[in-house]
Amino acid sequence: MHQSSDRAVLIEWVALGHSLKVVSSDSRERFCLCLQLLGLTLLRDYNSDEADKLLARNEESMLATFMEIGSPGDLQGFDDRQAYHCIALMRRLLAAVGGQDDDRFQRYFDLQYSNQQNQAICGAMIDVYGIGSIDGTDKEKMREALSKSEVRNGQGINEIEIANYMEICHGVLEHDWVFI
């Protein structure tokens, strides 16, 4: 990325971080839980050491990447198109969990990325890497895993919430998600 593009990406990244700070605590929690859900499905084994580390992260830890001021490390090496797509994907997730709809970012959503690639991008934002998919996820095993999430302070999570989070995550990854 060249200097002026770096600055524009940085401005959008800081704006995303600000949006995550000012959104309701419920929306912020749902954002983090959705990222954990997407991360777990990339790992496939919800009882692995990696899964335990992911579930041990609290809200502050989950959001730390988005609060970086300066050059966001997770966008280093991305070209403008990729960086803006990443920001649009995170904005899409934030809007889906109750954050402010900011449809101006959706023009940056790149339809060349598959659902699985979008999921991998979401995972990379929280330092989780794998090749799993949200499709075919065992909802009961996911419920058991997310019930251990530090984001929820160890409070349980019910089947309806899991189904809702899975629907949100699946919708965010899709190409046909449109703001009206």
pLDDT, tens digit (0-9, with 9 covering 90-100), for 57-100: 999 999 998 887 655 555 556 677 888 899 999 999 999 999 87
Choose among 34, 37, 35, 42: nearest CA to 120: 42
Choose among 39, 6, 176, 15: nearest CA to 105: 15
3-class SS at 107?
helix
In the 3-class helix/strand/coil scheme, how is 29-57 assigned residue by residue? HHHHHHHHHHHHHHHCCCCCHHHHHHHCC
Contact indicator for 41, 88 with CB cutoff of 8 Å: no
Neighbours of 180 (CB within 10 A): 4
Instruction: Round to whole Å and give the CA distance between 10 and 162.
Output: 33
Angle at 99 between CA 102 and CA 71, to 5 degrees: 70
Per-residue confidence (pLDDT) for residue 136, from 0 to 100: 86
pLDDT, tens digit (0-9, with 9 covering 90-100), for 21-50: 999 999 999 999 999 999 999 998 999 999
pLDDT, tens digit (0-9, with 9 covering 90-100), for 117-157: 999 999 999 999 988 888 889 999 999 999 999 999 878 89
Instruction: Name the DSSP class of 137.
Output: -
Instruction: Round to whole Å and give the CA distance between 31 and 125.
Output: 12
Instruction: Round to whole Å and give the CA distance between 120 and 69.
Output: 23
DSSP string, 61-106: HHHGGGG--SS-GGGTT--HHHHHHHHHHHHHHHHHTTS---GGGG
Q: What H or E segment, with its residue span, contains residue 166?
A: helix 159-173
